Amino acid sequence: MLIQSAGMKETLQYDQTSCRLQVEGLPDVSRGLVGGSIGIITGWRLQWLGRPDVEGQREHLQALLEVVLPYARYRISAVPRSFGEPASPVQLHPAEGNKHRLLLRSSQADTPELEQLIDDAELADLVQVLDRLRSDPRLQIQAQIPASEPLGVRELIDRIPVRQRLAAPLGGLTALVLAAGLGSLWPAPRPLNLSPEAPAGQNREAPNTAAPGSGSAMPIKGEPLSVPKNSPSP
């Protein structure tokens, strides 16, 4: 970072391999700022190797910060998406072949929009200079600079391919259907008979239930029925 002073005018300069960002402004004396800091931005310039320079006012620099930094964060997280409203000064869209389409619109009606197709290296350099500008304590502007925030749960889920997301549920459902089918083919167990059975070839005898001393007994199976001899006549 290079700081140049010309009277009260200050210039902050940030250099990378393919680009250079210069921010010019004045210290805001109403807020008690002294030389070496910028509280009021009067202009800025972005220089790219082999490309036309880009200049603008504070609102254009603010729009560049709000578009480029979130775009790069989503791109690194493998969630490519466009940033910038259709009528905003800056728009950034993914392009084919790992390219990025940067649209810059002037606030003057007679100036056509500028389209730049940049690669990953140029995008990385642009992110570096903007991030250094955002974290520079000498830049004391009263503007809401976007903070880096993690991606939401839904955005992280969306970056997983649909086939990979459906593989686990479909695999579990298939295993459940196979287990139910195999269970239906398994033979049912036979009921266990707990009653005793007599051995084959052996007859079961009936128990004698006559009362003791009654003088009569039930005949036993296999013996003839007989009348006792010398019984007194009535």
pTM above 0.85, yes or no: no
Task: Give pLDDT, residue 176.
Answer: 75
**Within-domain flag for 26:** yes
Mean pLDDT, 10 residues at a time, the chain of 234 residues: 64 94 88 79 92 90 92 86 90 92 87 91 94 88 65 58 62 74 70 62 54 54 55 52
**Within-domain flag for 217:** no
The DSSP secondary-structure symbol of 38 reads B
- Beta-carbon count within 10 A of 123 CB: 20
Q: How many domains does the chain have?
A: 1
Specify burial of residue 14 (Cβ count, 10 A radius: 0-12, 13-18, 19+). buried
**Within-domain flag for 64:** yes
The enclosing domain of 75 has a CATH number of 2.30.31
Boundaries of domain holding 44: 2-143
Task: Give pLDDT, residue 148.
Answer: 64
In the chain, the amino acid numbered 118 is I
Sign of CA dihedral 219, 225, 226, 227: positive
Contact 70, 131 (CB under 8 A): no
DSSP H or E segment with residue 75: helix 58-76
**Within-domain flag for 216:** no
